[in-house]
Amino acid sequence: MSTSIASRLAGLNPRQQQAVRYIDGPCLVLAGAGSGKTSVITTKIAYLVQECGMSARRIAAVTFTNKAAREMKERVGSMLKGKEGHGLTVSTFHTLGLNIIRSELKALGYRPGFSLFDPEDAKALLRDLMNKDAQVDADQINAVQHQISQWKNDLVLPGQALSHAADDDAQYAARVFEAYVRHLKAYNAVDFDDLILLPVVLLRDDPEALARWRRKIHYMLVDEYQDTNISQYLLVKLLMGERSTFTVVGDDDQSIYAWRGARPENLVTLGEDFPRLKVIKLEQNYRSTGTILRAANSLISNNPHVYDKTLWSQMGEGAAIRAVVNRHEEAEAERVASEILTRRIKESAEWRDFAVLYRGNFQARLLELKLQHYQIPYKLSGGTSFFSRNEIKDAMAYLRLLINPADDNAFLRIVNVPRREIGPGTLEKLANYASDRGSSLFAACHELGLEQQLPLRAVERLGRFSHFIDGVRRRMDQGDAIEAIRGMLHEIDYEAWLYQNASAPTIAERRMANVWVLVDQLEKSMNRDPEDTVSTETETDDVEAAISRLVLRDILEQQAEDDDSDRVQLLTMHASKGLEFPHVYLMGLEEALLPHRNAIEAGTVEEERRLAYVGITRARRTLTLTLARQRKTYGELMDCTPSRFLDELGELEWEGRADREDPEKKQARGQDAIAGLRSLLG
C-alpha cells in the first residue's frame, strides 16, 4: 500500500476505515454531524485511485453547494499527487448534470450554445405565458413556478402532471407547465431543475446514452445524501445500475431541503432498491466540544427518529454556550461585531475562525454595517451576490446572447443597453412579429417582413444591433473569444453608460471593475491552470461551456471573490452545511425567526429544528447564541419571544436576560472591548 494512503487510513477510526475499504457493493454511511462522513468520502477517493488503481476520470463525487464542493476538492487535492487526480469530478449535482447535458446535446434534441435560465428568467417566461390568458399576480406566478419545480424534482413530466391533476388549479398549472417546457425548448434553454431532470430522462430512455455514461463513471460518492430529491436519487441509481458501486453519506437529522423537494426517505429507499447495501454508522464526533455536542443532541432529541444515533466527543468539555439577549436587532449586530473584534485579539484567532450564521439573508444587513464600522473584513455568502449586480447581469446577458441568439430574455435585457433608441413600442411589435413566425427576437431582427410592421428607422436600428452581435460572434469563433468580448465592451462603451447612470464616478468605476472581474473569471475558467490536477469539469473547454458554468455559479449563489482570504464568514444556516468554524455566532434565536414564522404556521418546526442542529454543529470550540428583545418587522418595532429551541438545548450561560446581568461583569466587558480596540488601532 502506498505510504500516503496508508497513513491517511491510519488516521481514521476502524468504522471509517471499514467504510473506505468497502468497495464490493453499495455503501451507506449514516452518522451525525462532525463524525467524519465527508472525511470518509475524500479518503475513499484517494483510496480508489492510489490503492485500487482506479482512474480518477472514472470517479464522480457530488454534493450540494459550491462551497461544499470546493472544500471537498481541496481536501482531495491535498491527498492526490501529480496527475493522479486528473479528470476527477468533484462537483455539485447540478454541475454534473450540466456536464452531461453539454456532452449529450444532440441526444437531448438541443442545439449547441444552449442557455441556462436562472430563476428570474424562468419567472419572466412564466409571466408571459400566464398573462396570455388573464392578468395574473406575482403570487400566482410564484405558486406555479414552485409547483413546476416540484414536478421536475419528482420526475413528473407535463403529460403526467395533466392526467393526475386533481382540481382546476392543478390543471391550470399543468397546462402552463406544458407550455413552459415547450417554450424553453424553442429558446434552446434549460432551467435549473432541468440540469438533473434532463439527464435522468435521457439515461432512462436512451440505452446508448446510458451505456456511454456507465462506461465513463465507475464509482460515485455522494455527500449530504439526505438532501437528494427523487430526480437526483434516480440519477445516481441510473448511473450506477447493477454494478451499484457507490458510497453515499448522510445524516437524516441534517435534512433541511424538504421545501426544495429533498426526500430524506431516500435513505430508506436505498436499502430497498439495493438489498446488498452495507450500512455503516459512525459515532465519534471529532469536531465539537462535549458541551456543544450535548446541546446539539439534546435539541435534536425533540424530533422523532428513524435511526438512533449516539454521538460522543473526546474534545473535552470546553466553554459554556452563551445566550446573549440584546435590546434590539441593532444592539445584537453591534454586540456580535464588537465581540469578534475583541475576541480575535484576546484569543489570537484569525478572522476566518469566526462565522456568523442566521436564518435569512436580510439579517446580515445590519451586521455588515457594524463590521464595516469596525473595519472587520468579512465575506458574505449568497444574498447580494456578485451576480445580482446590474452591471454583471448586463454583461451576462451579452454573453448569453452571444452563445445563444435565441435567448430572448438576454436580448431584451441589453438590446437598449447602452441606449440604442430601441423603445418598448418597437420591441412589442418585434415580439408580435417573432411570435407569429415562431422565431426568436434576435432572428426576427434580420427578417425582411419586419419592414411592414415597423418604421424604417426602427428596423435599421434593430438591424444594426443584430449585425453588431453577429460580428462579435464571428470574431469569437475565429480568434480569441475573450479578446472579442473585451473588444465588444469597449465598442459599446459600456463604461460611458455606467458613468451616465451612476450617482458618483467612483461607483461607475467600481461597476466597470466588476465587469472586468467577470471577464477575467471567464478567461480563467477557459484556460484552467494545468497544475490544477483535480478538475471539476471535463477537459475540453470552450467559451460556451465557460459561460454556462458562470450562469450556474450565479444560480448557486456564489461570489466571484477568492475564498482563502482571512475574513469573518457570514452565511445562512442553509449555506453552512458541511462546514466548520472554531467560533460560531448564531443570530436571531427568536420565535418567528428560528423557527421561522412560516414553518410554525405550516407545522414544519421539525425541519427548523434540524436547521438549528446544522447551525450549532458547525461550531468547534465556542458557540454564542444571540437574540433581540425587539425587532423591526414589516417596518414596525415588535416584541420578540425567545426561541423554543433555547429551552431544548439544556444548560446555557445567559447574558442580559431580564437585565439580570451582574453590573460589574458588564463594565468589565465594556473595558475589554475598549482595550481590544485600542490595541487594534495601535
Contact residues for Mg ion, defined by CB under 5 A:
37-38, 578
Q: Is 224 a catalytic residue?
A: yes
Q: Is 37 a catalytic residue?
A: yes
* Coil, strand or helix at 104: coil
Residue 33 near which of ligand ATP, Mg ion, none (CB within 5-8 Å, type-dependent) = ligand ATP
Choosing from 28, 39, 361, 573, the residue that interacts with ligand ATP (CB under 6 A) is 39
Assess 382 for contact with ligand ATP (CB under 6 A). no
Q: Is 617 a catalytic residue?
A: no
- Of 77 and 418, the one with the shorter C-beta distance to ligand ATP is 77
Give the pairing of strands 246-250 and 27-31.
Answer: parallel
- Of 22 and 286, the one with the shorter C-beta distance to ligand ATP is 286
Q: Is 38 annotated as a binding residue?
A: yes
- Of 37 and 152, the one with the shorter C-beta distance to Mg ion is 37
Please name every residue paired with 247 in a beta bridge, in sequence order, or none if there are none: 27, 221
Restricting to residues 100-119, name those near ligand ATP by CB under 6 A. none
- Of 130 and 220, the one with the shorter C-beta distance to Mg ion is 220
- Of 226 and 533, the one with the shorter C-beta distance to ligand ATP is 226
Site string for ligand ATP, 237-276 (x = CB under 6 A): --------------x--x----------------------
Least distance to Mg ion, CB of residue 445, Å: 50
Phi, psi of 222 (to 5 degrees): -125, 120
Give the pairing of strands 278-282 and 246-250.
Answer: unpaired
The Cα–Cα gap between 348 and 327 comes to 29
Residue of 15, 37, 413, 609 marked active site: 37
Least distance to ligand ATP, CB of residue 647, Å: 24
The Cα–Cα gap between 366 and 383 comes to 13
Residue of 38, 147, 536, 622 marked active site: 38
* Coil, strand or helix at 78: coil
Phi, psi of 182 (to 5 degrees): -65, -45
Stretch that binds ligand ATP, among 32-40, 155-163, 542-550, 553-561 (CB under 6 A): 32-40
Assess 318 for contact with ligand ATP (CB under 6 A). no
Q: Is 601 a catalytic residue?
A: no
Stretch that binds ligand ATP, among 36-44, 149-157, 176-184, 322-330 (CB under 6 A): 36-44
Residue of 43, 63, 92, 254 marked active site: 254
Residue 236 CA, chain-centre distance (Å), reads 20
The Cα–Cα gap between 298 and 305 comes to 13
Per DSSP, the chain holds a count of helices (H) and strands (E) of 30, 18
User: Alpha helix (H) ranges present in 323-440?
Assistant: 329-346, 364-373, 390-403, 408-414, 424-437
The Cα–Cα gap between 65 and 88 comes to 18
Least distance to Mg ion, CB of residue 270, Å: 18
Give whole-number Cα distances, 541 to 77, 89, 99, in Å.
21, 15, 11
- Of 37 and 73, the one with the shorter C-beta distance to Mg ion is 37
Assess 33 for contact with ligand ATP (CB under 6 A). yes
The Cα–Cα gap between 467 and 565 comes to 44
Cell 407545522 locates to 603
DSSP letters of 174-211? HHHHHHHHHHHHHTTEEETTHHHHHHHHHHHH-HHHHH
Q: Is 420 annotated as a binding residue?
A: no
Stretch that binds ligand ATP, among 34-42, 176-184, 227-235, 409-417 (CB under 6 A): 34-42
Assess 35 for contact with ligand ATP (CB under 6 A). yes
The Cα–Cα gap between 335 and 326 comes to 8
Assess 38 for contact with ligand ATP (CB under 6 A). yes
Q: Is 261 annotated as a binding residue?
A: no
Q: Is 566 a catalytic residue?
A: no
Q: Is 287 annotated as a binding residue?
A: yes
Q: Is 35 annotated as a binding residue?
A: yes
Assess 583 for contact with ligand ATP (CB under 6 A). no
Restricting to residues 553-582, name those near ligand ATP by CB under 6 A. 578, 580
Assess 67 for contact with ligand ATP (CB under 6 A). no
CB 368 within 8 A of CB 380: yes
Give the pairing of strands 284-285 and 278-282.
Answer: unpaired
* Angle subtended at Cα 218 by Cα 213 and Cα 219, rounded to the nearest 5 degrees: 125
Residue of 118, 191, 193, 224 marked active site: 224
Phi, psi of 430 (to 5 degrees): -60, -45
DSSP letters of 584-617? EEE---BTBBTTBHHHHHHT-HHHHHHHHHHHHT
- Of 287 and 370, the one with the shorter C-beta distance to ligand ATP is 287
Assess 405 for contact with ligand ATP (CB under 6 A). no
Q: Is 95 a catalytic residue?
A: no
Which residues participate in catalysis according to the annotation? 37-38, 223-224, 254, 618
Instruction: Please give the annotated binding residues, written as ranges.
Output: 31-38, 287
Q: Which residues bind ligand ATP (CB under 6 A)?
A: 11-13, 16, 31, 33-39, 251, 254, 286-287, 578, 580, 617
Instruction: Please give the annotated binding residues for ATP, written as ranges.
Output: 31-38, 287
